[in-house]
Amino acid sequence: MWRRQALGGAAHPHTEWDAYDLVGPDNLKVEVKSAAYLQSWQQRQPSAIRFDIALKRGWDASTNIYSSEASRTAEVYVFCVFAEQRREFADPLQLEQWFFLVCPTQWLGERFSVQKSVALSTLEHLTKRCISFWRAKRVQNMGAGRRME
């Protein structure tokens, strides 16, 4: 539900195994990746956060056909991080414990080409752009052709 809220309530429902997670305003295709420092099992230290950005052969739910070539089919990636590291305070339903990095897919391709994953620290260093849940409503303005500074 928060995914729809972040897109101004205009996102179409998610279809399992589709080539991207959401279709937002103006048919903007959005891929959502999430990670957390804390896991449900006992940990000695917080998890190092990495995101899968590998090229994939996307499946189109409307045609039931896989693409012939691997690519990043979404136009925008939203990297969601549950940032709380103290188990006693962690509550994934508290949106202020999350932050989001929004990256046009073109930007990922230019910087990471065929790389399969990327560390959160690398994304933070390169983008220098973290947005809170409430500012994530502006995702629709981050189309593929828009430059990320």
Whole-model pTM? 0.77
Mean pLDDT for back-to-back runs of 10 residues, the chain (149 residues): 53 67 85 94 94 90 87 91 94 90 90 94 76 47 41
Instruction: Classify strands 76-82 and 29-36 as parallel, antiparallel or unpaired.
Output: parallel
The SS3 call for residue 109 is helix
> What local confidence, expressed as pLDDT, does residue 145 receive?
41
Instruction: Classify strands 65-66 and 59-60 as parallel, antiparallel or unpaired.
Output: antiparallel
Residue 108 · residue 72 · CB < 8 Å? yes
* Residues facing 101 on adjacent strands: 79
Instruction: Classify strands 22-23 and 65-66 as parallel, antiparallel or unpaired.
Output: unpaired
Give counts: helices (H), strands (E), the chain: 3, 8
Residue 76 · residue 28 · CB < 8 Å? yes
Domains of the chain by residue range: 2-141
Residue whose entry in the numeric block shows the structure tokens 């012939």: 68
> What local confidence, expressed as pLDDT, does residue 80 receive?
93
* Residues facing 77 on adjacent strands: 31, 103
> What local confidence, expressed as pLDDT, does residue 4 receive?
53
> What local confidence, expressed as pLDDT, does residue 87 receive?
94
**CB-based contacts of 76, cutoff 8 Å, min separation 6:** 28, 29, 30, 31, 102, 103, 104, 105, 139, 142, 143, 144
> What local confidence, expressed as pLDDT, does residue 18 receive?
73
Burial class (CB in 10 A: 0-12, 13-18, 19+), 133: middle
